[in-house]
Amino acid sequence: MNFLCTIILFIVWPFGAFVNAIKNIRIQRYRIFIFLFFCLLAFYIIPYSDGDIRLYAKSIETYSKFGVNAFFQEIYLSFQGKGSSGFELFIPINSYLTSLIGNDFRISFLLTTLLFYTFWISIIKKLIKEYDFASNRSKEALLLLFMFSIYVIFYRVLNGRFYLAYWGAVLGVYMIMNERKNVYLLLTLSTIFIHQSFIFLNGILIIHLLFQKYYKNKLGEILLFSLIIAGAILNQVGLKFISENLGFLSDNVSDRYMAYTKDSFVEKHSERAEIKTWFQTLRGPLLFYSTAIFLLIIRFTKKKFFSIDTNLKSWYYFILLFWALNSLTFEIPQFGDRFRNVLIGFMILFLYKIYIKQSLKEYNFYFYIFLTSFAFYKLITIRVFAEYINLYSYFPLSFLFSWFDPDGYPLIN
């Protein structure tokens, strides 16, 4: 289908043009239809009472009253961690720009879409290029690329700055780990200004870069596995430790972090978890453990695992370090579970990098178990988002958004 036909198709049936653009994603001019489709979804999204989608509207109202001097004063304070939202700059900048353009919260969604698309397409292009030059261009490798691409979908980014920061962080870590471009530390650090909890991920990355020379012997791997097990056993200690050792941060930042560790917040989160359906409760742990076990099976049964590509060793130890620290903090509501989602994203990316290096047909049984758990996770996630999206945008796949009644179920961030 040529470019002109795709333009006409986008006017008549945007989803069809989007699918065609995905098929032609290697051709730069077709990518505009991917971006336009995301913009269309953002413009017609239905805000609901909770989450960042509603936060945008409230923030625009606030910043529309700001003069230039007041706005830049807020930015200055944010760089010090003393802004109204601690270090977070994204919502203030987004809201202020929106108030200048048209004071319509949908414009703020479009600005978010632009940043998301920039992060997303940048790393997807890199991974497609890896696939094109790979020694193993199997359907499994292609499926892993697809799964990584849609793991954190567009709506999660609009619904939460955390997942916008996720794509920025993944791109930055990829460029540092894969292309040795440490200047991208500036990108990973900038994610703190989108969602300040990414101080945690930046800390993990810096620790990894400082200590990766010690990964040359077995002792490093044994130590990290010991930390993973200890963290899983002692995660309540991690909750207490973090709540008592945030004094080095500014008051605004530490107060926001400590809010996650207070008994009242933990209890509220537990009550919310209790009203989830079994499939909402199961989807996260099922995906995490199927991904982790699959990765470890390959690690301990594949001969010369690291000899395929020395860069894989660095990725592997980064994931283990991330896993160890996430285990210790997993019991912190809205923090540990979210960063476990980030960890899963890195695990899927790592599996993709393994698969493009060699044929792993002997692992097909485990691969399809992992694929099934991923499909289950995505179906539940997509159905939850049906409450605030325009279903007609996805015709004829709209049935995916109505296969069970979600009334009374909490939206999942």
The reply to whether 210 falls in a domain is yes
Higher pLDDT, 355 or 333: 355
Is residue 83 domain-resident? no
- 181 lies in the same domain as 36: no
List the end-to-end C-alpha distance of the chain, in Å, as a whole number. Answer: 37
Instruction: Report the pLDDT value the prediction gives residue 251, as an integer from 0 to 100.
Output: 54
DSSP code for 24: T
Q: Rounded to the nearest 5 degrees, what angle is found at the Cα of 218, between the Cα atoms of 215 and 219?
A: 80
Domain shared by 4 and 124, yes or no: no
Indicate whether 172 and 293 sit together in one domain: yes
Tokens of 352: 């993709």
What's the rounded mean pLDDT across residues 22-30?
A: 94
Spatial contact of 205 and 173, defined as CB atoms under 8 Å apart = yes
Cβ atoms of residues 208 and 321 within 8 Å: yes
For residue 49, the model assigns a pLDDT of: 66
Residue 159 lies in a domain: yes
Residue 412 has what pLDDT?
Answer: 39
Q: What is the pLDDT of residue 194?
A: 94
Whether residue 412 lies inside any domain: the answer is no
- How far is Cα 410 from Cα 406, in angstroms, rounded to an integer? 8
Residue owning tokens 């989602």: 341
Q: How far apart are CA 154 and CA 163, in angstroms?
A: 9
Are 144 and 264 members of one domain? yes
134 pLDDT more than 60: yes
Q: Is the same domain home to 28 and 177?
A: no
Predicted confidence at residue 406, as pLDDT, reads 46
The residue among 316 and 88 whose pLDDT is bigger is: 316
Q: Specify whether 23 is located in the same domain as 125.
A: no
- Quick one: tokens of 38? 């995301």
Distance, in Å, from the CA atom of 79 to the CA atom of 89, rounded to the nearest integer, reads 8
Q: Provide the pLDDT for residue 240.
A: 58
In a domain, 349, yes or no: yes
Do 9 and 132 share a domain, yes or no?
no
Residues 6+ apart with CB under 8 A from 160: 51, 52, 195, 413
Locate 276 and state its tokens.
Answer: 């989830």
Six-digit token string for 170: 């993944």
The mean-pLDDT minimum among 26-35, 144-153, 155-164, 246-255 falls in 246-255
Residue closest to 340 by CA, chosen among 350, 327, 352: 327
Query: Residue 206 pLDDT more than 70?
Result: yes
Whole-number mean pLDDT of the chain?
Answer: 84
* Domains identified in the chain, total number: 2
State whether 145 and 291 are in the same domain: yes
3-state helix vs strand vs coil in the chain, percent to 5 = 75, 0, 20
Q: Report the alpha-carbon distance of residue 176 to residue 191 in Å, rounded.
A: 15
Residue 400 within any structural domain of the chain: no
pLDDT of residue 249: 53
pLDDT-derived band at 317, boundaries 50, 70, 90: very high
Residue 71 lies in a domain: no
Q: Is 79 inside any structural domain?
A: no
DSSP label at residue 28? G
Predicted pLDDT of residue 403: 59
Q: 350 Cβ partners below 8 Å, 6+ apart?
A: 295, 312, 315, 316, 319
Q: pLDDT-based confidence at 158, cuts 50/70/90?
A: confident
What span, in angstroms and rounded, lies between the C-alpha atoms of 398 and 278? 23
On whether both 143 and 22 belong to a single domain, the answer is: no
pLDDT at position 405 is: 52
Task: Kindly state whether residues 38 and 137 are assigned to the same domain.
Answer: no
> Does the pLDDT at position 170 exceed 80?
yes
Query: What is the span of the domain harbouring residue 6?
Result: 1-43
pLDDT digits (tens, 9 = 90+) for 344-373: 999 999 999 999 988 899 999 999 999 999
Q: Which residue's structure tokens are 């692992």?
A: 363
pLDDT at 217 over 80: no
Interval 47-103: pLDDT, tens:
776 667 778 888 888 887 777 887 788 888 887 777 777 788 898 888 888 888 887
Contact 147, 374 (CB under 8 A): yes
**Residue for token pair 């791109």:** 171
